[in-house]
Structures are given as C-alpha cells and as structure tokens.
C-alpha cells in the first residue's frame, strides 16, 4: 500500500542497513558528487488561502547510474563523513540564488525555507556562512527561513539561543521543523527566538483517526499563536485534512495535496505568470 511504501521510504537508512557494500558504494560517490554537479534542489510550494507564498528547498542527488536518490538515503551518511558542510553550503547558496531569481522575475513570495542539519548548525562559522550565502546571492535576509529540528535546539540550549539571536540580528527567519516529534520541552519553547513552527506530518495524518488527534493539532496551533509564531502544517495530503486545519486556524499548509517537490523549471510552471498566484 501507499502507506507502507512511504513508511519504508521514511525509515530507510543506508547507514544502518545490513548491506555495507551498498554503503561503501554510495560513500565513495558522495565524495565526488558535489564537484560533479550531481545535486539538485526541488521546490515544494507552501500555500496560504490558496496562494503560493513560498517554497521549501529539498535536496536530491542525481546519481549517474542509480538515478534520483532521496535525501534520507544519503544525508545521514553525509553527516557521518563530514560532507554535509560542503553540501549544506551549496544548498544555501543555490536556494538563495534561485529564489532571488524568482523574485526578480516579478513573483511575489514571502520566503524560501532551507533545511539545516544538526552538524551544520553546530559547525564553526555557521552564522558567517549563512551571511556569505546571502551576500553571494543578493537575497534580502528576511526572505530566508531556516528549518531547524528540535534535536538541534536541545543539543546545547544556550548556544542554540545565542545563535538564533545572531541570525535574527541579520534579519533571517527561523522555523522549528518536525515540531512535536523531538524532545524539546514547552518550557524552552517560549525562550527560543523563533518565527514559525512546522507541525510534523505524523500529527496531520493522525487527524484522520479521530477527535482526540484533531484536538492535539488544535492545541499546537493555539500554543503557537499564543507565542506569536506562524504555523505551517506539513504533509497535507487530503481535502479533509486541509479543511480541518483551516477550521483550527492554521493558515499555511504544505503537502502533496498542493504539490510535490518539483524541479526548478516545474516550480516556475506552477507559479505561472508573475502576479497570478
């Protein structure tokens, strides 16, 4: 079934697969992939009241013999081997540049969301690298929204808060990704200088199971609004979920219902002529 497939996809990690030959194979290719220009960014739309307000940039690896490889199959490996920093910087500069081009074409959009891994966040000169990506691309900082997981937050709370404050000084926006799946305490949440929460898709999917699950999502949305945070629902797949989210007051949604992650050219096609969305 579709559900089984997506679970399989979600949990597959070459790093803990029994097939270490496969891992070695990918690993040696990964070292060269950046230099060979094999990475590509796909863009998934974010929707408010039926309009595209921005995109999340999602990394893909165009492997010469294996085709398109999803990030879950190589990012953990890239993290372990220290490749994530180079790849992460490429993602940042490319996403900022391609988004600036969209704005220059006359599209009215609010932000480009870029995923930041834990090791990337804790690298030396992280803030400076972000700053450089903005300068290099010519994108105004308020257009950039970094998606950071709760595990990055909890790894070193004082450092996390300091770094977020530095990013805010530059004008960059910050969202907590996969909210609700990690171990961040509500106690900390009010201390983090954040702009948005992305409700993890597991909560969105659970809404189909009944009222209690709907109430949980409603609770997250209320809390976010009390903290004056924007809320993005991720993994929205059905009209029913979209309807419920709207009733609960969640204004921004992302998911297959609105559009899958698309290559740049198709993201442009989705936008249509400037002024249409």
Binding footprint of Ca ion on the chain (CB under 5 A): 115, 147, 177-178, 234
Q: Of ligand C2E, Ca ion, none, which one sits near residue 27, judging by CB under 5 to 8 A according to partner kind?
A: none
Q: What element of type H or E holds 67?
A: strand 67-69
Residues at the site binding ligand C2E, with contacts judged by CB under 6 A: 6, 44, 58-59, 70-72, 75, 88, 91, 115, 117, 147, 177-178, 235-237, 255-256, 261
What gap in Å lies between CA 113 and CA 160, rounded to an integer? 19
Question: Which structure tokens are listed for 132?
Answer: 């450089």
At 217, give phi and psi (nearest 5°): -65, -40
What gap in Å lies between CA 34 and CA 40, rounded to an integer? 10
Minimum distance from residue 62 beta carbon to ligand C2E (Å): 14
What gap in Å lies between CA 157 and CA 37, rounded to an integer? 36
Nearer to ligand C2E, 159 or 256 (CB): 256
Question: Which structure tokens are listed for 215?
Answer: 């109430």
Q: Of ligand C2E, Ca ion, none, which one sits near residue 91, judging by CB under 5 to 8 A according to partner kind?
A: ligand C2E
Minimum distance from residue 88 beta carbon to ligand C2E (Å): 6
Closest residue to ligand C2E using C-beta atoms: 255
Nearer to ligand C2E, 98 or 117 (CB): 117
Count of residues making up the chain: 277
Q: Of Ca ion, ligand C2E, none, which one sits near residue 117, judging by CB under 5 to 8 A according to partner kind?
A: ligand C2E
Q: Is 173 left (phi over 0), alpha (psi -120 to 50) or beta?
A: beta
Minimum distance from residue 76 beta carbon to Ca ion (Å): 12
Minimum distance from residue 275 beta carbon to ligand C2E (Å): 26
Distances (CA, A) of 275 to 53, 155, 166: 12, 43, 34
Q: Of ligand C2E, Ca ion, none, which one sits near residue 256, judging by CB under 5 to 8 A according to partner kind?
A: ligand C2E
Crossing angle of helices 211-226 and 239-247, in 10° steps, is 50
Minimum distance from residue 235 beta carbon to ligand C2E (Å): 4
């Amino acid at each position: 079934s579709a559900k089984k497939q997506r679970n399989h996809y979600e949990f597959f990690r070459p790093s803990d697969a029994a097939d270490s030959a496969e891992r070695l194979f990918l690993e040696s290719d990964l070292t060269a992939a950046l230099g060979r220009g094999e990475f590509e960014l796909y863009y998934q739309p974010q929707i408010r009241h039926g309009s595209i307000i921005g995109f999340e940039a999602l990394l893909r690896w165009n492997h010469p013999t294996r085709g398109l490889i999803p990030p879950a199959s190589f990012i953990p490996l890239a993290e372990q081997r220290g490749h994530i920093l180079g790849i992460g910087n490429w993602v940042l500069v490319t996403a900022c540049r391609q988004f600036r081009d969209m704005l220059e074409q006359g599209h009215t959009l609010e932000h480009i969301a870029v995923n930041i891994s834990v090791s990337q966040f804790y690298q030396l000169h992280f803030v400076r690298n972000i700053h450089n990506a903005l300068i290099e691309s010519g994108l105004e900082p308020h257009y950039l929204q970094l998606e950071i997981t709760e595990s990055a937050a909890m790894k070193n709370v004082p450092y996390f808060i300091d770094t977020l404050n530095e990013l805010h000084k530059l004008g960059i926006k910050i969202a907590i990704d996969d909210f609700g799946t990690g171990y961040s305490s509500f106690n900390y949440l009010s201390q983090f200088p954040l702009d948005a929460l992305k409700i993890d898709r597991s909560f969105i999917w659970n809404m189909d199971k009944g009222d209690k699950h709907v109430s949980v999502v409603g609770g997250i949305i209320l809390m976010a609004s009390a903290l004056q945070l924007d809320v993005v629902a991720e993994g929205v797949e059905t009209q029913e979920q979209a309807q419920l989210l709207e009733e609960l007051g969640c204004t921004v949604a992302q998911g297959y219902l609105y559009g899958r992650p698309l290559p740049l050219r198709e993201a442009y096609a989705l936008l249509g002529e400037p002024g249409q969305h």
